[in-house]
C-alpha cells in the first residue's frame, strides 16, 4: 500500500493535473468510480495504473474485477495519498493514470458520419465536458475541439464527460478551416449555433436538420466571430421563451444536437 503522500510516485501522478506534465508524459488523470469503470469497460488498454482505497474496493468490486481482467496494475493507497494525487477536493476512492488517445481528423470522416459537434474556442472545462457527454447521449459520431478550445484532458473536462470521453472519437488541436474542408468533402452541412441565426422551429420545419450535420459552437462569452460564422452554410439560434437573459452554452448545444438526432431518426423510421 502507498502510504506516503509526499513520495515521488504520488507527486508524479498529481502533476498530471497540469497540462505541461500531460504533454510531456502523454498521460492524464482519471478520478472517481464512474469514470474509471467506463475506461475499464470501453478502453481498458488506455489505463496504465489504477489506485484505490480498500474502502472503495469493497464498495465497487466490479472495478477490481475489470482491472484484473484487463491486466491493469492496481495498488492500494491511503485516503491521504488519494487526496494528494487528486485534482478534486474530495476524490471518490479511485484514481487512474490513462494514456491520451486523440483521434485523427481524417479517421473521424472516414466512416460517413451523420452528426458531429465542433467546439471552436470553447474555454470552460465544464461546458466542453458537458457537450461531449450530450453528443454521446444524442448518438453523435464524433466531437472535434479546435486548437483554441480547452485541453480535452484537463481534469475538469474529463470529470464533466462522466465517462463519455471513452465512448466516441474526439479530435483535438485542429484548425476550423481544415474541419470545414473535411465536412464539405463528407457531404455534410455545417450549421453554426448563433444568437442571430434563424429560429430553431424554422430550421425544424424546413427539414434541414435531418441531413448529415456538423454543429459549430463558439466561445461562451463572445460566440463565433464573423469570419468563423462565414464558414457555415447557415446559423440557427435556440429561442428564449422565458425571462432568462441567455442560455448556457452546453445547454444550447444539447438542444441543437438532440434536434438533429430527433430529425435524423424520424427521417429513417
Q: Taking the model in full, what pTM does it have?
A: 0.95
The DSSP 8-state label assigned to residue 263 in this structure reads: H
What's the confidence (pLDDT) of residue 102?
Answer: 95
What local confidence, expressed as pLDDT, does residue 268 receive?
81
Residue 89 has a pLDDT of 85
Query: What confidence score (pLDDT) does residue 203 get?
Result: 92
- CA nearest 165: which of 96, 221, 113, 110? 96
What pLDDT digit, counting tens, does each position of 146-159 carry? 999 999 999 999 99
The grid coordinates listed for 30 are 482519471
The CATH H-level (homologous superfamily) assignment of domain 8-99 is Ribosomal protein L30/S12 (3.30.1330.30)
The distance of Cα 93 from the centroid of its chain, to the nearest Å, equals 22
Locate the domains of the chain by residue range. Answer: 8-99, 105-268
pLDDT value of position 227: 95
pLDDT in tens, the chain (269 residues): 899 999 999 999 999 999 999 999 999 999 999 999 999 999 999 999 999 999 999 999 999 899 999 999 999 999 999 999 999 888 889 999 999 999 999 999 998 999 999 999 999 999 999 999 999 999 999 999 999 999 999 999 999 999 999 999 999 999 999 999 999 999 999 999 999 999 999 999 999 999 999 999 999 999 999 999 999 999 999 999 999 988 999 999 999 999 999 999 998 87
pLDDT of residue 264: 97
Cell matching residue 232:
457555415
CA 18 to chain centre: 18
What would the grid cell of residue 107 be? Answer: 479517421
Burial of 58 (0-12, 13-18, 19+ CB in 10 A): exposed
- 105-268: CATH topology is Alpha/beta knot (3.40.1280)
- CA separation for the pair 135, 138 (Å, rounded): 5
Amino acid at each position: 500500500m502507498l502510504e506516503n503522500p509526499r513520495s515521488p510516485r504520488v507527486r508524479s501522478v498529481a502533476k498530471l493535473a497540469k497540462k505541461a506534465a500531460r504533454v510531456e508524459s502523454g498521460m492524464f488523470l482519471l478520478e472517481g468510480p464512474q469514470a474509471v469503470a467506463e475506461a475499464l469497460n470501453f478502453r481498458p488498454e488506455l489505463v496504465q495504473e489504477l489506485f484505490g482505497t480498500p474502502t472503495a474496493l469493497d464498495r465497487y468490486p466490479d472495478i477490481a474485477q475489470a482491472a484484473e481482467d484487463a491486466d491493469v496494475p492496481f495498488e492500494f493507497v491511503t485516503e491521504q495519498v488519494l487526496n494528494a494525487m487528486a485534482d478534486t477536493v474530495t476524490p471518490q476512492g479511485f484514481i487512474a493514470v490513462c494514456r491520451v488517445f486523440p483521434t485523427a481528423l481524417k479517421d473521424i470522416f472516414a466512416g460517413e458520419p451523420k452528426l458531429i459537434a465542433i467546439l471552436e474556442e470553447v474555454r470552460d472545462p465544464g461546458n466542453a465536458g458537458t457537450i461531449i457527454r450530450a453528443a454521446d447521449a444524442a448518438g453523435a459520431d464524433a466531437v472535434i475541439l479546435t486548437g483554441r478550445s480547452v485541453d480535452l484532458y484537463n481534469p475538469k473536462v474529463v470529470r464533466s464527460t462522466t465517462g463519455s470521453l471513452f465512448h466516441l472519437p474526439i479530435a483535438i488541436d485542429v484548425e476550423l478551416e481544415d474541419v470545414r474542408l473535411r465536412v464539405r468533402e463528407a457531404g455534410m452541412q455545417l450549421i453554426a449555433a448563433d444568437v442571430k441565426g434563424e429560429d430553431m422551429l424554422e430550421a425544424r420545419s424546413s427539414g434541414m436538420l435531418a441531413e448529415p450535420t456538423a454543429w459549430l459552437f463558439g466561445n461562451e462569452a463572445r460566440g463565433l466571430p464573423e469570419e468563423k460564422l462565414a464558414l457555415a452554410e447557415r446559423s440557427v439560434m435556440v429561442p428564449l421563451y422565458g425571462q432568462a437573459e441567455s442560455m448556457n452554452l452546453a445547454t444550447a448545444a444539447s438542444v441543437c444536437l438532440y434536434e438533429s438526432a430527433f430529425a435524423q431518426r424520424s427521417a429513417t423510421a
